[in-house]
Structure 1
Amino acid sequence: MRLWLGLALLAPLALGAAAAPLVQALLGHDPFTPDLFSRYQPPSAAHPLGTDELGRDMLLRLLHGARVSLTVGVSVALGATTLGTAIGLLAAWRGGWVDAVLMRIADGMLSLPALPLLVVLAAVDTGRFGLPRGEAASDIARIVVILVLFGWVGVARLARAAALTQLSLDYVQAARVSGATEGRVLARHVLPNILGPVTVATALAVAGAILAESTLSFLGLGIQPPAPSWGNMLSNAQEMVFNAPMAAVWPGLMILIAVAGCTLVADGVRRRVP
């Protein structure tokens, strides 16, 4: 039930993000270009959710913001899960000093204050290193890389613990005795049996990445205007809370729905996986 409820919450967001260019063509507005003659307009047929302080259509900016936020969330989750699972499997398989070094690195990463460090890294001017900044694609890539660097640790520890359990079972020993290579044992026997908890961690990582991106964008260190994200839409809404209070409600509601949907999906998967 929770799995389907979570998917029901996430499906409209994903469909809306995918349909953003089509909706933009139907409405005939540019969500990136200011129109000062249309500021603070109430909901209407031309602007279903009204306009913001610069006259931009709120619905279109929410949909384009969904593209950014969901892209960041899914990309970070896949990157962190892939890296963390690989490191966890390596630590469990090799053991010894390899396991000790990798887990001490993970412990060190966990001991760092995540949010302040994310803020410091996000504030670094990548233009000094010859990398573009201020473009949506480069901002997304920068945020994804930063969040993946901090997001693999929990998955690695989870994958290591699950892999150690599987490697100690009789069927793995039987596969080794029968002549299976270590690579085949890991790929055909261990990895499929740890995908359950890893999948749960992936769904939770999507929610965490969306929240982290929204926080950085709210602070002005994530996705830069005019590209919309739910975080920078919330930041802009601070200045018009009395003129257009719904400008703060809509992006906040989108973040709530996305995070709740991912959490419900993770809980539903956890209940279904033995």
Structure 2
Amino acid sequence: MNRLIQLVRTADWTGWLGAAIVLVMLGAAIAAPLIAPYDPVAINIEHRLTAPDATYWLGTDQAGRDVLSRVIYGARASLAVGIGAVIIGALIGVSAGLFAAYKGGLGDQITMRIVDAIASIPLLVWAIAIVGVLGVGPVAIGSLQLPNEVKIVTLIGCLFSPVFARVTYAVAQRIVSADYVKARYLQGASHWQIVTGDVLPNCLSPIIVQATLLVAIGIVIEASISFVGLGVQPPQPSWGTMLSDARNAIYSGEWWLPVFPGLAISVTVIGFNLLGDAVRDLFDPRHEARTLVA
């Protein structure tokens, strides 16, 4: 614990900046109904395409909707997709990586070859292709109707799973062959106890680092899917759909329409990347050694 406290105290300022950005964005998404000045979907034609002023701080769009309110509510969609996809991807990928590393043999080869096949195609290509085939409407699974947002989260989560599987497999493979794990087996510990009590805890550091970085990628993928009309559907606000609606504004002079949602995406992605780099340094044994020596 003392080592962790010392590492946190000596963390680089960029890590604190990333953490602050992430906390602000999460707070804005959670408290959107309280801090958004206007209804993000309310149409007000009289004030359409109003430049930023004292009433509308970030201006209004083609339908007179407040851009600030839509940016704040858009954080909900982007962060929900990014964080939800990482959770789903971690559950699937970590389980697959642990199974392959602990099982070994043919099960190891089959699992990892499937993972390699999925990972061989870029995430964005997978996402656009699958969502394009399934459509933007809800998917019926028996009597259960899954809305498009849930479908996107599940899809991106499945596409994230190979990354988690590879990271977990690389670490778990070394741990499984360690002497203390073999000793635990000879002592009568069950396979479940060994995997959850000895192997998994030693894999958490790289998994946490990877999860932090993948949230940023999930936000970009969600914005890209929404930009081409396959993500969050209007009138619900999303940073990607806002950029899509603002394409013509680039040439007509309404600069605030593309700038602010694009800035929100950029700042949020930078925040998660800075936080991910800081977390990686905290869990890096070489960084820890340098810090303790200093």
Q: TM-score, normalised by structure 1?
A: 0.92
Aligned partners of 1:5 and 1:86: how far apart in 2? 33
Aligned partners of 1:214 and 1:121: how far apart in 2? 16
Aligned partners of 2:84 and 2:58: how far apart in 1? 29
The correspondence of residues 11-26 of structure 1 with structure 2, limited to 5 A, is 11-24=23-36
Residue equivalent to 1:266: 276
| Partner AA of 1:36 in structure 2 | I
Deviations 1:181-238 (A, max 9, x none): 1111111111111100000110111011101000011111111110111111111111
> Structure 1 segments of 4 or more deviating over 2 A?
42-46, 111-117, 124-131
The correspondence of residues 179-198 of structure 1 with structure 2, limited to 5 A, is 179-198=188-207
User: By how many angstroms is 1:246 displaced?
Assistant: 1.5
The correspondence of residues 128-207 of structure 1 with structure 2, limited to 5 A, is 130=140, 138-207=147-216
Residue equivalent to 2:55: 46
Aligned partners of 1:76 and 1:130: how far apart in 2? 20
Residue equivalent to 2:18: 6
Aligned partners of 1:171 and 1:117: how far apart in 2? 41
| Partner AA of 1:149 in structure 2 | C
SS at 1:207's partner residue? helix
Q: Pick the aligned partner of 1:249 from 233, 237, 259.
A: 259
Q: Pick the aligned partner of 2:40 from 28, 31, 50.
A: 31
Please provide the CA RMSD for this pair. 1.8
User: By how many angstroms is 1:126 displaced?
Assistant: 5.9
Aligned partners of 1:10 and 1:149: how far apart in 2? 24
Structure 1: state its 5+ residue gaps. Answer: none
Aligned partners of 2:253 and 2:81: how far apart in 1? 31
Q: TM-score, normalised by structure 2?
A: 0.86
Q: Is the Cα contact below 8 Å between 1:53 and 1:240 reproduced in 2?
A: no
Aligned partners of 1:113 and 1:206: how far apart in 2? 16
Q: Pick the aligned partner of 2:115 from 85, 106, 111.
A: 106
SS at 2:247's partner residue? helix
Q: Pick the aligned partner of 2:80 from 55, 67, 71.
A: 71
Q: Is the Cα contact below 8 Å between 1:40 and 1:243 reproduced in 2?
A: no
Aligned partners of 1:105 and 1:147: how far apart in 2? 17
Deviations 1:46-98 (A, max 9, x none): 32211111100011100100011000000001110111001100011111111
Structure 2: state its 5+ residue gaps. Answer: 1-11, 286-294
Deviations 1:18-72 (A, max 9, x none): 1210124xx3x32112211111112234322111111000111001000110000
**Residues paired across the two proteins, number:** 267
Aligned partners of 2:209 and 2:140: how far apart in 1? 38
Aligned partners of 1:212 and 1:127: how far apart in 2? 19
